[in-house]
Each structure stands twice: as C-alpha cells, then as structure tokens.
Structure 1
C-alpha cells in the first residue's frame, strides 16, 4: 500500500535540490539522483514502528504508571536486579546496554567532539536549519499536531530537542547508562507513548500518512542531525576533518540504534547519507496549514518566551533567526512556510567569512583542537543553560 503522503516529486523539495541550497549537496552524489523505482522500495518503512518500545508502553506504563516505570528503568540501568519487571522492559534495557559489535569508541568521540566544537553556531544550525527545515514536510508533522504540540507551544519542543542534543554529545556521555543511554531511552519511550496514544484515539489515517512516528520518518529525523547539520556547519564556515565527518555519521548511527531504528537503515558515508535524505525529502507532500502554524510558532518563540528578557533583545533574536532561516533554507522554502524576509539574511555569510578564517588554527595541533572543543563547548553550555534557566528547567553540567 502506498499512502497518499508519498508525493513524487515533492514540489517544495525539488526546488531545494535542483536550484536551491541543496544543489551543492546533490553534487556530491555525482549528479545522479535516485530514481523513483529505487525510492519506492522504502515505502514499507512508512508502516514500520518500534514494536518493542510499544510493548513497553502497553506492559509497563499503561499498567504500572509512570512513577514505577521510571524507577524500574533507573534501577535496571544501574545494574540492579529487580523482581516482577515485565519481560518487554528487560528486553529493551538489554538491547540498549549491549554495545553492538560495529561500535567504534574512537569514531564515536570524533563525532561528538565535532558537535561540541560547533559551539553556539551548532545550536543555530539545529534550530534554523534542521528543526525549521523539517517543518516543511506536512506528513512528518502530523504526530506533533495529534499530540497537541501546537497548543503546547514551540518553546517546549525546542527546549526538549536542544537539551537532549547537548546532553548526549558530551564527552563519553552517549555510552553512559545513566546519561546518554538513559536520555535516548527516554526519547524512545516518549515516541512510543505518543504513537500508542495516537492510535488508541482512533482518528489517525494510516492509509494517508503511514504509521505515526514510523521508521522512515525516524531515519529522516536522524539524518537531520547528521547530514543536514553537517551541511549547516559548512555553510557557517566550520570545516570538519574527514575523521570528524566519519565520526558524526557513526555517532548518529549509534544514537539511532538506541532510539530503536534498525541499524541497517543508517548510511555509513556522506554520499550515502545525501542519497538517503534525498529519497525521503523528494517524496514529501506539499506544505499545509499545520506546516505554516508550526513554523510560525517557532519563529515567534523568542518574542513569546521568557528568554531573552529585554524587548530589544527579543526583537534582535527574532530577526537573527529569520536571517539564518533564509540563509539555510532558501527563499522558496521560507516563502512556503510564510517566514518574513529580513535584512539579517546578510549576517550569516559575513559570519561564515570570519569563522572560515579561524579554521586553520583549530587544526594546528592536537592541543589547539582540544582547546577549540573545550572553549566552544563552554559557550554552548552557557547559551543552553541561560535558556533552560529562563524556562525553569534544570541546567546542564558536564
């Protein structure tokens, strides 16, 4: 069965790849775009879900409640023996705490280090390229609408996504049972709970949208954090080494594994990642009213939220983000999502020029590289903690 959300070729993303900001990415595929018949092989993934996580929701959370479920998870991740725990919870804990044979700790750290050394610029890429760019897909946004994301506001999702990302890219964080692994399990079960709840409500149109939070959409989200993030860093003048690039894809393959997506779905190289994200984007239906509402909510978040606190700062941050949106996504995508034009679109290219000048000094020696990672991570943590504190959230410590 082919759901109606499979829309080939996507009107908006076709422009992005052939004439927009994705043109340079496409060149790395040697100009050979995957054919429709090749892409159609991925359609079954629109109906695949994380069945083990769904069983945990049904067996644990629906029966025993959140408090006891969270207590069991903490105990099991600490290696404690807990009696009378449902088998599905034991299975998922065993799955995520057993390191896969392909895991390479050195590559893992190189990928995480690139994320840390991206500093506050990396946060700009996440917000204004990865997150906002994903809103252009009307289909992937449907679970957000069904779970009330529009009513809860953009600040909640932005805060949760940023906090998750910053926590797991910390040094050696992702392999720690009580840090990165626990963070991933929390997100995985949150996705499962949303999926189970949406389906139980009985209003989800699977023949149109596929399964909620399906495996192809989960892969696309993961690729947003790897190949789209990488493209955004380069657009801002950061020059990753080949080792960092390889490490970035390895890191997000492991994160994807922890989040419940089959490891065989993940690309190993940059060219494979570009083909994978192309195959997903080029089949996305046109933007709809939900797309515009979500984009508008994220755009207005600096003006509506508590951070920053002064009016002139709010307006400055608002315009700056719009400038990054236009720079990363291009005119057509921004107009589709009804994002206002701003003269601040000229700021990122100037910033790119100066960031680019400093890149050779980063790679002068191992010491200079580590200094860059530590300095930018410190700046990254400060920005995130200022934001978290303004929203009454617990701040992050290394």
Structure 2
C-alpha cells in the first residue's frame, strides 16, 4: 500500500487537543477508545478523488473556461433543453450515477440540522471562522492546495467571503432541493474542487508521494467534519444548546451535503460518535503545522483590518481583537501559540456574547422560543452575507 510522507503520528496541536484539550471530553463519549492503527484503513483515500467531477471539468470547463462551464451547468439545472445537446450529454453523464433523493434521505431530520445551523446566528459564523477555519490551518497537508493555488496572494478576505456565501446559501430553507440555491452552490463547489485538482496536477510540481492527491477524499471528509462535528463543539462552547434531535439532524445534513460533493457514503459519519472517531483518525495522523500554516493563520488574523467593513479603521482594529479572543477561547492558547497568533486584551469584551447565548437558550425546549431564535439567526446570516459580499469583494 502506498503511504504518503504526510502520514505520521501528530505530536503537537492535535495530539494536545485529544490528550489535554477539548478532545478529552469528546473521547469520553465513545464506548471504546479508538485505536490509532485503525486509521490505516483510510490511507487509500489520500489517493482517491472525485472522478465524476474531474471528468466533467476536463470535458466542459477546461475547453470553455470555468465561468462559461458553470453557466452551462446552471442552465441545465433550470432546464436541460436550454443548452446544446453535446453539453447536455456531458452533464447527464455526470448526474446519472447520483441519486438526488436517495432512500436514506430524511428531509424532516435534515430540517432539524438546518434549525440548529440557523439558530446559531452570529455565533455560528464566528465558530466557522475562528475555530473551524483557523483550526484547520494546524495541518500542513490539507492546506497545501491553498498555497499552490495562490490563496495567500488572493487574500483571506476573499476566501472568507466565499466561505460565508457558501455556508449561508446551503443552510437556507429548502436550499438543498434540486435546482435551488444551495444545491447549485454545492455543484459549483464540487466543480471548483475538481478544477483546482486537475490544474494543480497538470500545471504545478505537486508531489503526490508526499501529500497524497490534492483535495483528496480523506481531506474532503475532514472538511465535512469541520462543518459538522467541529462546528457543533464550537457553538456549544459559545453557549448555544443543541437538542439531541438537532445533533442527529446536523450529521444527517452533512451526510447529504458530503454525498452531493462526491464523498463515498461508507466514510461519512452518521452520528456524533462516528464523527468523533473519524476526526481522531484524521487529526492524529497529520503532519504538524509548518511555515505555510503560520502564514495562512497570520493572513486570517489580519483579515478584519484588510477588509472594508467595519467602515472605520478603529472599528476594523477592534474586530481583529474580537476574533483573536474567539481564536484563543475556542482553540486554546496552546494551538494559538503554535500558529503564532497574537494575544488580545480588548477583545475579551466578546465574552459577553457567550453570556448572552446562554441566557437566550435557557428556554430552548419551548417550541415558540426556539422558532424565534431560528428566525432571528437566519436573518443575521443573510445580513452578514450581504455585508461580506457588498464590502469585501471590492
């Protein structure tokens, strides 16, 4: 079996997470301590990729350009008859093996996951930025495609704006129904991944023996876990209560999303326990962070200052301090020190948001109260997305 050089036992941030950090409490939820040698079963997924997506990209996007290729797919999703027969056959071949509404899909359960996502409000977006995204930089390997595609040159403002747009679009009411905005965005994201992978392998000195394939299946699973399990841990740390049916719904939501993005069903966790075990195997076999990790972390740290909102310089500086507080509060000082993130004094005022969340979620079992928080949270998501797209894509 081919084993890339990246595959090794982690000795720094992720090891600390499971041995002395928040991960200790997660492992206590499992009936049996996971054995690290079981991670070997995932090694082949470091060389597995989305063959359907890559085939379509090579036939459609490379000859026509990514933008034109996506416009054709968008037209197909609205009305297949709108596009030329040769393009229609390509897209039909892509969708043919995909069951858009598989027998295991439970829309009511998925709705519970959406409820929790929407109810998270501003704290959900904070978690995605300051815990999931920043914490992901602790792995040297998963971030190498970002470096090779010039993410640092493009800037963290653009990447963060794209992440907010993606997440808000896919967590809307009925967004994941075929042809709706969330479904469309998932297909676009899948094509972006394939387009990046095809071009990285074609036009760069990417070393698969060292890193595995770019945007490989196991790293895509890790991203899925970031949006599900890590997100869940983060919002709970920020004072948001999650009901058991919402937790189950969240993992069902991301099972369906992962499936639409091309992940094989056999590796997508269906519940919290399976997700904890999967995250343990991935994180504990990651090479420690490197100079690129620190560069990406520094860029995200500076993002509020480089952005165009808030509109005042002092407002942007204060936003930087607030996000630094959340970085330390969610990731812990050990990880933040490894990433060489600054400390903050003034940002500690953001803890008031945690207190506010705890108070607001005391009556969460009451349906009317929960529905008000869901509606309020969704309005906040749309407002923040509008701010990012209006001010930060200039």
TM over 0.5: yes
Cα distance 1:87–1:33, how it changes in 2: closer, same or farther (>3 A)?
Answer: farther
Contact 1:59/1:86, CA 8 A, preserved across alignment = no
Unaligned runs of 5+ in 1: 394-398
The alpha-carbon distance between structure 1 residues 241 and 191, as it changes in their structure 2 partners (threshold 3 A), is same
Match of 2:377 in 1: 376
Contact 1:327 1:345 in 2 (8 A): no
Q: How many corresponding residue pairs?
A: 391
Question: 1:89 offset after TM fit, Å?
Answer: 2.2
Q: Structure 2 vs 1, CA of residues 174 and 10 (structure 1 numbering), >3 Å: closer, same or farther?
A: farther
Q: Do 1:236 and 1:348's aligned partners in 2 also have CA atoms closer than 8 Å?
A: no
> Which whole-Å CA distance do the structure 1 matches of 2:243 and 2:67 have between them?
44
For residues 389 and 98 of structure 2, the distance between their equivalents in structure 1, rounded to whole angstroms, comes to: 28
What does residue range 63-82 of structure 1 map to in structure 2 within 5 Å?
63-81=63-81, 82=83
Pairwise CA distance, 1:269: 1.1
Q: CA deviation at 1:176?
A: 3.7
Counterpart in the other structure of 1:50: 50
What residue in structure 1 maps to residue 34 of structure 2? 34
Secondary structure, counterpart of 2:189 in structure 1 = helix
Please state how far the C-alpha of 1:88 moved relative to its aligned partner: 4.1
1:35–1:278 CA distance, 2 compared to 1 (3 A): same
* Residues 1:84 and 2:118 are matched in the alignment: no
Tell me which residue corresponds to 1:289.
Answer: 291
**Following superposition of structure 1 onto structure 2, how do residues 238-387 of structure 1 map, counting pairs within 5 Å?**
238-343=240-345, 346-347=348-349, 349-364=351-366, 366-387=367-388
Please report the TM-score for the alignment, with normalisation by the length of structure 1: 0.94
Query: Aligned to 1:76, what secondary structure does the other structure show?
Result: helix
Pair 58,35 (structure 1): closer, same or farther in 2 beyond 3 Å: same
Cα RMSD of the aligned pairs, angstroms, is 1.7
Deviation at 1:350, TM superposition (A): 4.6
Equivalent residue, structure 2, for 1:215: 217
In the alignment, structure 2 segments of 5+ residues that lack a partner are: none
Q: CA deviation at 1:96?
A: 5.0
Residue 120 of structure 2 corresponds to 118
Contact conserved, 1:76 with 1:93, CA < 8 A, in 2?
no
Shift of 1:94: 3.9
> SS in structure 2 opposite 1:130?
helix
Contact 1:21-1:328 at 8 Å conserved across structures: no
Aligned pairs for 1:124-273 (under 5 A) are 124-273=126-275
| TM-score, length basis structure 2 | 0.95
- How far does residue 264 in structure 1 lie from its aligned partner after superposition? 1.8
* Residue pair 2:228, 2:254 contacting (<8 A) in 1 also: yes
In the alignment, the residues of structure 1 paired with residue 324 and residue 346 of structure 2 have an alpha-carbon distance, to the nearest angstrom, of 7
Shift of 1:203: 0.2
Worse-matched range after superposition: 287-296 or 168-177: 168-177
Shift of 1:363: 2.4
Other structure's SS at 2:361 match: helix
- Give yes or no for contact 1:60–1:86 (8 Å, CA) kept in 2: no
Stretch moving more, 16-25 or 197-206: 16-25
Bigger mean CA offset, 353-362 vs 321-330: 353-362
Q: Is the 8 A contact 1:138 1:285 kept in 2?
A: yes
1:151 and 1:372 map into 2 onto residues whose CA distance is 38
Going from structure 1 to structure 2, the CA distance change for 1:198 and 1:64 (only over 3 Å counts) comes to: same
